[in-house]
Homo-oligomer: A and B are copies of this chain.
Amino acid sequence: MSEYIEHNHNGISVGLVEKKFYTLAGPPDELVLASGARLGPITVAYETMGTLNGDKSNVILVTHALSGDSHVAGYYSADDPKPGWWDTMVGPGKGIDTDRYFVICSNVLGGCMGTTGPSSPNPATGCPYGLDFPVVTIGDMVKVQKALLDHLGITKLLAVVGGSIGGMQVIEWTISYPEMVASAILMATTTRHSALAIAFNEIGRQAIMSDPNFNKGNYYSGPKPDLGLALARMVGHVTYLSDEAMRSKFGRRLQDRDNLAFDFDANFQVESYLRYQGSKFVQRFDANSFLYISKAADYFDVGLQHGHDSEVDAFAKATAKIFVISFSSDWLYPTYQSRDMVKAMKKNGLDVSFCEIEAKCGHDAFLLPNERQSTLINRFLNRVSEEEHDAL
């Protein structure tokens, strides 16, 4: 559930990156999904930053949240107005220092930013999948990331790093491919979606599916369910902020200074903000991808899927050094959920660090510039990097 952060590039062409594509090979070009369905071929869009070292020991995989993509940081060109979604954290000399580490980020399975998803052509028909795209899980997304790493000849990750739905992918990595993961950094995430989180996602999905343009998901050749997707995004934005953040950001400030308009236009700034966020989102995101990625998040339940309904058992095979970060005002994935997962990890004797960062801005805090978070992540990576080096 990421939010793009806008930065002025000032015309300086630093951190140029390129979007690349890899199509999973191997007969019959199909991946068996958690549902049992088969899907293929699958193309993965990914980007890299930094330089892979000789023994390939400096790889960090960054995973993205609902609305993110492979463009984690840097610019596509010298006149690109906006860097990637986590440019405040990833880059030369930053928290995740690309002078030192080789960062990979790929668009998730089911997405709409280059990786195969519901808007991709269905090889059986030549038309976009729409709802014929199979429901995918966080585990399926991670399987595709694993295939990409295999293709790149990478067998070990110094770290997997992600927040929100990206954090779920990190958890999945520590459990499904423990031998590949030296360390893991999870921010503002949960091991299983609460009823509250499911409820908000379901409202978003209902908004999309209620839009008359939705047409059972087959809208690619006609008008799109923009109103529904905008509503879903508005709901999302409220859950990413906190009561306190909204109070300081908007309060009861009016669009027209002191005058109540006595109509149903956006009178308050918060109304205008939400309408703007909704209308901006529909320009870059596919409504079906919202359905699939939000559903994957709702289905995520690490105890059920990996531990016979025990969260402690789920982490039995994990070996990574883990750093869990929560934010005090995040009410979507509150701190108590992070504490619970830390407990489950510790019961397995894992090397786990935990930090709740005081932040007023709610769930979105992990994406915003945050000195404390950058420092903590930088130190953790340095420690792990040194320990891995010493162990060789």
Task: Indicate whether A235 reaches chain B with its CB closer than 8 angstroms.
Answer: yes
A263–B231 CB distance below 8 A: no
Task: Indicate whether A41 reaches chain B with its CB closer than 8 angstroms.
Answer: no
Among A196, A227, A295, residue most surrounded by chain B Cβ atoms (within 10 Å) = A196
Contacts of A138 in B (CB 8 A): none
A residues 207-238 touching B (CB-CB < 8 Å): 207, 209-212, 227-228, 230-231, 234-235, 238
Task: Indicate whether A357 reaches chain B with its CB closer than 8 angstroms.
Answer: no
Contacts of A262 in B (CB 8 A): 35, 37, 134-135
Q: How far is the CB of A329 from chain B (nearest CB, A)?
A: 12
- Interface residues of chain A: helix, strand, loop or mixed (majority): helix
Contacts of A228 in B (CB 8 A): 210
A112-126, CB under 8 A of B: which get 1 and which 0?
000000000000000
- Please tell me which one of the listed residues B131, B212, B260 contacts residue A264 in the complex, with CB atoms under 8 A apart: B131
Q: In the complex, what distance in Å separates the CA atom of A37 from the CA atom of B261?
A: 12
A residues 6-47 touching B (CB-CB < 8 Å): 35, 37
Contacts of A260 in B (CB 8 A): 35, 299
- Please tell me which one of the listed residues B235, B243, B266, B291 contacts residue A196 in the complex, with CB atoms under 8 A apart: B243
Contacts of A200 in B (CB 8 A): 238
Nearest B residue (CB) for A309: B258
Q: In the complex, what distance in Å separates the CA atom of A35 from the CA atom of B267?
A: 14
The segment from A164-172, A270-278, A377-385 found at the interface with B is A270-278
A247–B195 CB distance below 8 A: yes
A231–B252 CB distance below 8 A: no
Task: Indicate whether A298 reaches chain B with its CB closer than 8 angstroms.
Answer: yes
Number of copies of this kind of chain in the complex = 2
Contacts of A249 in B (CB 8 A): 195
A231–B210 CB distance below 8 A: yes
- Please tell me which one of the listed residues B195, B238, B278, B334 contacts residue A270 in the complex, with CB atoms under 8 A apart: B195
The 10 tightest CB contacts between A and B, nearest first, are: A195-B246, A210-B227, A35-B262, A135-B262, A195-B250, A195-B270, A202-B271, A199-B238, A196-B243, A196-B246
29 contacts between A and B (CB under 8 A): A35-B260, A134-B262, A135-B263, A135-B264, A193-B252, A194-B252, A195-B250, A196-B238, A196-B241, A199-B238, A199-B246, A202-B266, A202-B271, A202-B274, A202-B275, A203-B231, A203-B235, A206-B230, A206-B231, A207-B207, A210-B211, A210-B227, A210-B231, A212-B212, A243-B331, A252-B301, A252-B304, A260-B299, A267-B298
B-binding residues in A (CB < 8 A): 35, 37, 131, 134-135, 192-196, 198-200, 202-203, 205-207, 209-212, 227-228, 230-231, 234-235, 238, 241, 243, 246-247, 249-252, 260, 262-264, 266-268, 270-271, 274-275, 278, 291, 295, 298-299, 301, 304, 331, 334
